[in-house]
Amino acid sequence: MSSPANDSDSPKPLENLGAFERWRRKAMLVTGLGVTEDERLEYLMERSRVSCEEQKLRFMQRSPAVVFMLKHLKAAGCELPSSNIICAPCDRRSAGGFNPEQGAIVLCQGVFFGDAHMENTMVHEMIHMFDQCRFKVDWLNLRHHACSEIRANSLSGDCRYSRELRIGSLAFTKHHQDCVRRRAVMSVSRNVMCPDQATAERVVNEVFESCFKDTRPFDENRTGIKYRPVVIAWCIHYLRVTQYASQTRHFRCASSEAFVSYEADWHLV
C-alpha cells in the first residue's frame, strides 16, 4: 500500500511559520530565490493590495479632504462605504477610476508614488461620484465628461505645484489652469465617443471657464497656492546650474529638507 502524500514539501502560509521561517520565506518571495515566478508575483500583488487597503482606510478616517467628500456624498444621497473603494491591479496609465453603474471607485494598487498621490486620486474619483450623484452625468457626452474632469483635476490636488515639480513641470504663471486643462484633455481623449485629440481639446476649451469656477462641494478651490519668491528663485537657480530636471524629468527643488517640507514652505491652502 502506498503511503499518504507528504504535505511537508508544499508551501505553508506565512502566519503558520515560526519567526525565522517567516523572515526566510519573505526574503525568498521578495528576491525570487527558491520560489517560482508565479509565487513571487502572487506575494507581491497581495502585499501591494494589503498596503493599499490599509492606506485607504487611514485616509477615510484621517484625511480632511477625503472625510469632507465622504460627508458630502452621504448628504447628497450617495454614501460611499469602504467596500466600494476597491484596491486592484489595473492599467499602469491610470491611478484610479470611477464606475458609475456600480457606484464604486477603483484604486490602482502599486502605482502610487506617495501618500499625497493616493489621497488626491481618492478625492478625484469622489468628485466624479459627487457629480454623478448630483447632476446625473452622461459619461458618453463629451461636454459632461470634460466638465467633471476639469472639476476633479482642479479640486483634488492633482495639479498642486509640488506634484507638478515632481514630474518636471516648471511653469510659474497660470500653472494650475494649464495643468487642469492638460489632464482633462488627456482623459476626454480616451472616451470611446471622442474621435481625436483635437475634439478633446475643443470640448474642454468650450466648457472650461464655467466648470473651472464650479468648486462644489468645496466653498473655494482648496488647492490654490501661494509660494515664496525665495523658493522660486532657488528652483530657477538650481535648474540653471544642474539642468537636473531636463535630464531626468524629476526635479528636487532646493535642498532635501526644503523638499520634504514643501507644503509648509509653499503655504498650500
pLDDT tens digit sequence for 166-189: 444 454 456 889 999 999 999 999
User: Which sign, positive or negative, has the C-alpha torsion 84, 106, 141, 143?
Assistant: positive
| Cβ burial 113-138 (10 Å sphere, 16+ → b, else e) | eeebbbbbbbbbbbbbbbbbbeeebe
The x, y and z cell numbers of residue 171, run together, are 511653469
pLDDT (tens digit per residue) in 67-90: 999 999 999 999 999 999 999 998
d(CA 188, CA 148): 10
What pLDDT score was predicted for residue 23? Answer: 61
| Cβ burial 43-55 (10 Å sphere, 16+ → b, else e) | beeeebbeebbeb
pTM of this prediction?
A: 0.70
What pLDDT score was predicted for residue 100? Answer: 94
Q: What is the DSSP letter of 268?
A: B
Catalytic residues: 125
Give the pLDDT band of residue 37 (cuts 50, 70, 90): confident
Rg (CA), the chain: 22
Query: Is 208 a residue whose pLDDT tops 50?
Result: yes
**Contact predicate 239/251, CB 8 Å:** yes
**Contact predicate 132/72, CB 8 Å:** no
Measured between its terminal Cα atoms, the distance across the chain in Å is 77
What pLDDT score was predicted for residue 42? Answer: 81
Give the pLDDT band of residue 210 (cuts 50, 70, 90): very high
What distance lies between CA 215 and its chain's CA centroid?
20
**Contact predicate 187/136, CB 8 Å:** no
What percent of the chain stands above pLDDT 70? 64
**Contact predicate 227/161, CB 8 Å:** yes
Mean pLDDT of the region 204-213: 97
pLDDT (tens digit per residue) in 94-147: 899 999 999 999 999 999 989 999 999 999 999 999 999 999 999 999 999 999
